[in-house]
Structure 1
Amino acid sequence: MTPDFSAPRRQTVTLFRRDPLLLDCGQPVNDVQLAYHTYGQPREDATLVLHALTGDSAVHKWWPDFLGAGKPLDPTRDYVVCANVLGGCAGSTGPAGLPQIGGQDAPLTLRDLARAGRALLDHLGVKRVRIVGASMGGMLAYAWLLECPDLVERAVIIGAPARHSPWAIGLNTAARSAIRAAPGGEGLKVARQLAVLSYRSPESLAATQSGARVPGTPAITSYLHHQGEKLAARFCERSYLALTGAMDAFQPTDAELRSVHVPVLAVGISSDMLYPAAEVRAHAALLPRSEYWELQSIHGHDAFLMDAGELPERVAAFLQG
C-alpha cells in the first residue's frame, strides 16, 4: 500500500548524540530531543512552520485555515515540517533536560532554538526551506534568517517584530513575576490572563466578551479564568519562563537586519496591541528584500488565528514566488 503522506505524522528524534549543541550561554547539550510533525512526501525542500509561544507542532489542529489541499501549506504539493521548540513542553527537550547555571535553568536564545531546528532538518535531509512563522514563531523566523541564511529561501513573518519593545518586555516581566511569586500553577494562570489581554483588542473583547455568562460574573472575567486554567493544565511554567526570556533577549541590530538578503513578507495586524503594526512594518523595512501587508481585523494579535481574512491567499502567493 502506498503511504498516505498527506496525513500528519508525529515523530521524535534525538539529536546531538556525539557532537553537542553549544548554547549561546556557553553550555554544551547532548541528546536533544525534538518532537515534530510532518505533512506531505519527504523531499529536499520544505516549508517550515514555526509555532507561537504556547503552541505546538500539530499545525493541523491550530491552523486549519492554512494547512490542507489548496491552502498555503499544501501537503499534496509541499513537504511541511513543524517542530516543538527546544525549551518547550510538548515533547521536545525542556528546561529540565538542559544544564543549570548557579541553580537556575540555563538561559536559552532564539538562535539556540534555530540551531536545534536546523539539526532536525539535516536529519530529515532537507536542504532548503520556506519559513512561515507567527507571533513567537515570527520572531524565531528572524533568528533563522540570521543564523541559517544559507538554508532559507524565503520567509513569511506574521504579527511579529524583529525585537521586543519595552512594552512587550514589560508584559513578559510581569508574567514571569507572577509565576515566580506563585509557583505551582497559580502564577502561570495569571501570566496567561495578562497575555490574553495583550493578544486581543478592546474592540475584540467588546464584541465577544460583553455581558455575563454566569450571573454576577462579567463574561470577560469568566473568559480570563478559563484561559488561565486551560494553560495551567497543559503548559510548563519553566518553559514559559525560558521562552519569554529568550524572546526578550533577542535584540538584533539594524545592521544585522540589513544583512538579510532573502525575500520576506512581513504581515502586521491593524489592531495588534502586543506588536503594533507600525512596529512590525518598521522592522521589516530594514530588510533589503521585504514587502509589507497589513491584515485588517478588530481581533488584535490573535487575528492570525481567529480572523485570517485574506491572509491565507497572501501567504500562498508569496510562498509560490
Structure 2
Amino acid sequence: MTAVTQTPSAPIPPAEPERCPVKKTMTLFRDVPLLLDCGLPLSNVRVAYHAYGEAQENAVLVLHALTGNSAVHEWWPDFLGAGKPLDPTSDYVVCANVLGGCAGSTGPAELPEVNGQPAPITLRDMARVGRALLEHLNVKKVRVIGASMGGMLAYAWLLECPDLVERAVIIGAPTRHSPWAIGLNTAARSAIKAAPGGEGLKVARQIAMLSYRSPESFALTQSGFRRSGVPAISSYLEHQGEKLVARFCERTYCTLTAAMDAFQPSDYELRNVTAPVLCIGISSDVLYPAVEVKAQAAVLPNSTYWELNSIHGHDAFLMDAQDLPERVRAFLHS
C-alpha cells in the first residue's frame, strides 16, 4: 500500500475583529400599542438601531439629523471612537432610526391613515418609541446628543423623558421652528407634492442644501464653472439632489419635516427642564441663526451656550468641527 503524503494546508488567518456593529431591529409595542399624539394607536413598531460598546445601564444616546440614520460610524467619525466624545471602549452608545424614517424603523406607509394620508407624528412620539427601546435594552439613564433635527429631538427627550436624561448636548438646533424654518420646509414639501416620483425630492434637497451652508462657504467651495460650462453651484445642487433620491423617501421627508415644524414647546415647559444642557450655535448658520439658538437656550434654567465659529453654515458640525468634539466630550463626561 502506497503511503500518501499530504501537504499541510496553510493556517487559516484569524478573522478580523468586527469594525462596526451590525444594524439590529426590534419590534416594540406588541401587546400594548403606542398612543400617538394625534390620538391614534400604533402597534408592532419596528425600530432599527446601532449599539456600540458593551451594554450598560447608563448609555449615550445619539439622535440623528433629518436625512441621517443610526450608523453613527458612517456620518460622524470625528465623534465616534476611542478617546472621542462617543467612546465605545468606555460608553454604551445607542442610535436608533426615528419613527417615520426610511432606514429600517416603521415608516410613513405603515402609519395609520387620516383622510388617505399617513397620520401625523411628533417628535414626542419619536421620543416615546426611543424610550421603549432603551427599556428593552435595560438602559436606566442616558446622556443625549443630537444635531439639527436630532437636536430638536433632544429637546423632546428633555420634555418627554426627564427621568431618563441626565444631561444633553444640542448642536445647531432651536427649541422650536421659526417662520423662516417652517417656510423652507413648506417650500420643500410643495416641491415634492408638485413633482412626486423623485423630481420634487431633488428640488427639496436643493432648497435644503442652500440653507445648510452659507454664502461664504459656497463662495469658497463652489465658485466658477465646470468644464461643461455649468456653474459649479448648479452642478453641486444637482448632484446633492440625485444622491438623496437614491437613498431617501419623499414620504419620509414630508413626515419628518412636518413633525419638526409642529414641535413648538412653550417657554414655560422649557423653564422646567432641570438637566444640564450644552447648547451649541454655529456662527454662520442661516437655517438656525446662532442668535436664535443662544436666546432660546437662555430660557433653560441649567444651560451653557458655546458657539462654533465657522464659515460653513449649519453643516459645520459635520464638515468643520474644529474644537467641537473636545467641548462635547468634556461636557458629556463631566
TM-score bin (small chain): over 0.9
Deviations 1:242-262 (A, max 9, x none): 000000000000000000000
1:39-78 equivalence runs, <5 A: 39-78=52-91
User: For 1:123, which of 123, 136, 143 is the aligned residue?
Assistant: 136
Matches within 5 A, 1:24-43: 24-43=37-56
Aligned residues: percent identity? 76
Structure 2 residue aligned with 1:145, among 137, 140, 158?
158
State the match for 2:11 in structure 1.
Answer: none
Size of the aligned set, in residue pairs, is: 320
Q: How far did residue 104 of structure 1 move?
A: 1.1
Cα gap change, 1:316/1:6 in structure 2, threshold over 3 Å: closer, same or farther?
farther
Shift of 1:61: 0.5
Q: For 2:84 and 2:22, how far apart are their aligned partners in 1?
A: 19
Aligned position for 1:156: 169
> How far apart are residue 6 of structure 1 and its match?
7.3
What is the CA–CA distance in structure 1 between the aligned matches of 2:305 and 2:27, rounded to whole Å?
A: 38
**Partner residue of 1:251 out of 260, 264, 278:** 264
Q: Any gaps of 5 or more consecutive residues in structure 2?
A: 1-13
The question of 1:269 aligning with 2:282 is answered: yes
Take 1:184 and 1:123, find their aligned partners in 2: how far apart are those partners?
A: 37
Deviation at 1:214, TM superposition (A): 3.3
Structure 2 counterpart of 1:87, from 87, 95, 100: 100
RMSD: 1.3
Aligned match of 1:188: 201
- Counterpart pick for 1:173 among 180, 186, 198: 186
What secondary structure does 2:162 align onto? coil
CA contact (8 A) 2:20 2:73 kept: no
Contact 1:8/1:60 (CA < 8 Å) preserved in 2?
no
Q: Residue 68 of structure 2 aligns to which amino acid in structure 1? A: G
Give runs of ≥4 in structure 1 deviating > 4 Å: 3-6
1:8 Cα deviation after fit: 2.2
Between the aligned partners of 2:43 and 2:166, the Cα distance in structure 1 is 29
Q: 1:105 aligns with which of 110, 115, 118?
A: 118
Distance 2:295 2:277 in 1: 13
**Which residue number in structure 2 is paired with residue 317 of structure 1?**
330
One-letter amino acid matched to 1:141: A
Match of 2:239 among 200, 220, 226: 226
Alignment partners' CA distance in 2, 1:299 and 1:140: 23
What is the alpha-carbon distance in structure 1 between the residues aligned to residue 246 and residue 300 of structure 2? 40
1:278 aligns with 2:321: no
Match of 2:313 in 1: 300
Considering only CA atoms, is the larger Rg found in Structure 1 or Structure 2? 2
Distance in 1 of aligned mates of 2:305 and 2:43:
40
Match of 2:304 in 1: 291
C-alpha contact (below 8 Å) 1:5/1:75 kept by paired residues: no
* C-alpha distance in structure 1 between counterparts of 2:107 and 2:82, whole Å: 33
Separation in 1 of the partners of 2:217 and 2:20?
34
Distance 2:331 2:42 in 1: 37
Letter in 2 for 1:181: A
Q: Note the alpha carbon deviations across 1:14-68, whole angstroms, 9 max, x for none.
A: 0000000100000100000010000000010000000000000000000000000
CA shift for structure 1 position 213:
2.2
Per-residue CA deviations over 1:148-207 (Å, capped at 9, x if unaligned) read 000000000000000000000000000000000000000000000000000000000000
Q: Distance in 2 between matches of 1:5 and 1:150?
A: 34
How far residue 5 of structure 1 moved from its aligned partner, in angstroms, is 8.5
Distance in 2 (CA, whole Å) between partners of 1:267 and 1:117 is 23
State the secondary structure of the residue aligned to 1:9. coil
Bigger mean CA deviation after superposition, 207-216 or 293-302: 207-216
Of 207-216 and 59-68, more deviation after overlay is shown by 207-216
What SS does the aligned partner of 2:24 have?
strand
| Alpha-carbon distance in structure 2 between the residues aligned to 1:12 and 1:161 | 30
Q: Which residue of 2 aligns with 1:204?
A: 217
SS where residue 265 of structure 2 aligns? coil
Aligned to 2:22: 9
- Deviation, structure 1 residue 86: 0.4
